[in-house]
């Protein structure tokens, strides 16, 4: 018996990185999974790589820009019709457009806000209709240690702290309908996103990871599996008395 037998989970931005790690873990525990991402081929290829555990399990890849309201609601309806329902939503899609404030453009501010914050709003609004009707739902939002402030990330940091406020408010509003809403704030996780940061800083990827590992209390960087383990707990029925919380999964990076 998997914790996710009979469940349908939607993970946004899941063609790679943390989202793919979470999707894989849900699938391993028995869920049918919809991978949403910008590129349809990448989403379909990622869905085809997921393990199929249990009878009637099916995975799909769907193209969806979460910052587009119609695309988000269309994707949720497609999941419901193709996979027979929706029980878990992970708002994971994300981008960075880092720059010091005086160089940060309005476009890069808007883009980051639109993907992280409006994207989570769009997807959650579309999914909550089904969650409220069935009196069951699990929402997980991806925040970041950068929510606490990070040089060169005014846009990203504001969006990621906004995600925490959204999470608390949804915990209050949706709790009476059997819906849990939580967030995970990862520290440094080895993905294409942090590899791109290394490239921007003109650093070798391994050297960048080594530097971040040395600065971390547990002396290693994180991997998508670290976030997936916490996600699988927070979206499970074992965690039904936990809502509105943000769990820092960062090796203690922000302990001070
Ligand atoms: P990633 O490897 O860059 O993957 C993000 C995925 O989201 C990509 O497949 C990307 O597609 C997709 N995406 C971007 N914009 C989208 C949109 N508008 N609609 C749908 N999908 C979209 O990033 P990651 O490192 O796995 O990060 C996943 C989440 O964790 C993000 O919210 C990130 O902010 C957060 N996080 C990451 C770290 C870390 O250290 N990696 C730390 C803290 C928080 P394209 O590749 O086509 O753009």
Note the pLDDT tens digit of each residue in 175-229: 999 999 999 999 999 999 999 999 999 999 999 999 999 999 999 999 999 999 9
List pLDDT tens digits, range 121-179.
999 999 999 999 999 999 999 999 999 999 999 999 999 999 999 999 999 999 999 99
Q: What are phi and psi of 124, to 5 degrees?
A: -70, -40
The strand pairing partners of 169, in sequence order, are none
Q: Which of 4, 156, 241, 248 is catalytic?
A: 156
- In sequence order, which residues have a C-beta less than 8 Å from that of residue 102 and are 6 or more positions away? none
Going from the Cα of 28 to the center of ligand 1, the distance in angstroms, rounded, reads: 22
**Is 171 in contact with 243 (CB distance < 8 Å)?**
yes
List pLDDT tens digits, range 239-254.
999 999 999 999 999 8
Mean pLDDT of the chain: 98
Q: If you count them, how many residues does the chain have?
A: 256
**Domain 8-187+222-248 in this protein, CATH class:** alpha beta
Show me where the domains of the chain are located: 8-187+222-248, 188-221
Nearest residue by C-alpha to atom 32 in ligand 1: 94
pLDDT at 256 over 90: no
The residue ranges of DSSP E strands in the chain, in sequence order, are 8-12, 32-37, 60-63, 88-91, 137-142, 179-186, 246-249
> In which residue are the tokens 């704030």 written?
185
Ligand 1 close to Cβ of residue 15 (< 6 A):
yes
The C-alpha atoms of residue 253 and residue 112 are separated, in whole angstroms, by: 24
Q: How many CB atoms lie within 10 A of CB 21?
A: 23
The C-alpha atoms of residue 182 and residue 169 are separated, in whole angstroms, by: 10
Ligand 1 close to Cβ of residue 164 (< 6 A):
no
List pLDDT tens digits, range 66-82.
999 999 999 999 999 99
Going from the Cα of 13 to the center of ligand 1, the distance in angstroms, rounded, reads: 6
Going from the Cα of 38 to the center of ligand 1, the distance in angstroms, rounded, reads: 11
Ligand 1 close to Cβ of residue 94 (< 6 A):
yes
Helical pair 17-28 and 224-234, crossing angle rounded to 10 deg: 50
Residue 110 belongs to what H/E stretch? helix 106-113
**Mean pLDDT for the stretch of residues 110-124:** 98
Q: How many CA atoms lie within 13 A of 83 on its CB side?
A: 27
Q: What is the pTM of this model?
A: 0.98
Helices within 114-255 (DSSP H only): 119-134, 154-174, 192-200, 205-214, 224-234
Ligand 1 close to Cβ of residue 21 (< 6 A):
no
The C-alpha atoms of residue 148 and residue 201 are separated, in whole angstroms, by: 22
Ligand 1 close to Cβ of residue 189 (< 6 A):
yes
The C-alpha atoms of residue 80 and residue 34 are separated, in whole angstroms, by: 10
Residue 248 annotated among the catalytic residues of the structure: no
The C-alpha atoms of residue 27 and residue 164 are separated, in whole angstroms, by: 26
Nearest residue by C-alpha to atom 41 in ligand 1: 189
Going from the Cα of 7 to the center of ligand 1, the distance in angstroms, rounded, reads: 24
Q: What are phi and psi of 157, to 5 degrees?
A: -65, -45
């Amino acid at each position: 018996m998997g914790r996710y037998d009979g469940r349908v989970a939607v993970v946004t931005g899941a063609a790679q990185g943390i989202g793919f790690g979470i999707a894989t873990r849900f699938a391993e525990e028995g869920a049918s999974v919809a991978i949403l991402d910008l590129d349809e081929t990448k989403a379909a290829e990622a869905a085809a790589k997921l393990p199929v555990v249990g009878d009637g399990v099916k995975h799909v890849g769907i193209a969806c820009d979460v910052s587009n309201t119609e695309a988000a609601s269309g994707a949720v309806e497609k999941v419901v019709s193709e996979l027979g329902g929706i029980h878990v939503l992970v708002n994971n899609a994300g981008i960075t457009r880092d720059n010091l404030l005086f160089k940060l453009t309005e476009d890069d501010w808007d883009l980051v806000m639109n993907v992280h914050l409006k994207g989570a709003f769009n997807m959650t609004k579309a999914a909550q209709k089904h969650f409220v009707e069935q009196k069951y739902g699990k929402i997980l939002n991806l925040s970041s240690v950068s929510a606490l402030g990070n040089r060169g990330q005014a846009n990203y940091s504001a969006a990621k702290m906004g995600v925490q406020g959204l999470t608390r408010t949804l915990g209050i509003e949706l709790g009476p309908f059997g819906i849990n809403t939580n967030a995970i704030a990862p520290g440094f996780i080895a993905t294409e996103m942090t590899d791109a940061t290394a490239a921007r800083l003109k650093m070798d990827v391994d050297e960048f990871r080594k530097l971040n590992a040395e600065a971390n209390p547990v002396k290693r960087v994180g991997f998508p599996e670290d976030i997936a383990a916490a996600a699988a707990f927070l979206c499970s029925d074992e965690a039904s008395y936990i809502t509105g919380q943000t769990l820092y999964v960062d090796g203690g990076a922000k302990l001070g």
